[in-house]
Amino acid sequence: MLDLARDLIAEEMASFGAARRASDRLAAWRALERAHIVAQPYFGLHLASHWTMLSYALRERDFKEAGGQCLRLALVPLGAITGRLPTGNTGRSNVSAFRPMPIPQDLLARMDDQS
């Protein structure tokens, strides 16, 4: 599963890079959210997803989002230790860090194919 997660994250990061170069903020954030959903069960990948979100928020001068990402970076170890990670959560500051959310069907299908 870890190899699949890395592959899916790499695809989303490629989408993020393309969207960022095209100045498409919505598509860039969507790709980062999808990468976060896949990364969440894996401590290092989860931390990296929030670090990338923080970096992008700062680049875009979105200080509210950057603050939310700092909080989430602090919460990742606690979630990993307690095993309480809200499945499907997009990782953005516009949703509760504790709220489970549905996993997009296309991601779920790809993840289920390999389990």
- The total of structural domains in the chain comes to 1
Q: Do 54 and 66 meet the contact criterion of CB atoms below 8 Å apart?
A: yes
Taking the alpha carbons at both ends of the chain, their separation in whole angstroms is 7
Beta strands in the chain (DSSP E): none
CB atoms within 10 A of CB 37: 25
Q: Residue 75 belongs to what domain range?
A: 2-113
Identity of the residue numbered 50: H
Convert the pLDDT of each residue in 13-46 to its tens digit. Answer: 999 999 999 999 999 999 999 999 999 999 999 9
- Residue 106 is encoded by which pair of tokens? 């296309």
Residue 111 pLDDT exceeds 80: yes
pTM above 0.75, yes or no: yes
Q: Which two tokens stand for residue 32?
A: 């980062």
| Whether the Cβ atoms of residue 32 and residue 56 lie closer than 8 Å to each other | yes
The pLDDT tens digits of the residues spanning 41-89 come to 999 999 999 999 999 999 999 999 999 999 999 999 999 999 999 999 9
CB 5 within 8 A of CB 42: yes
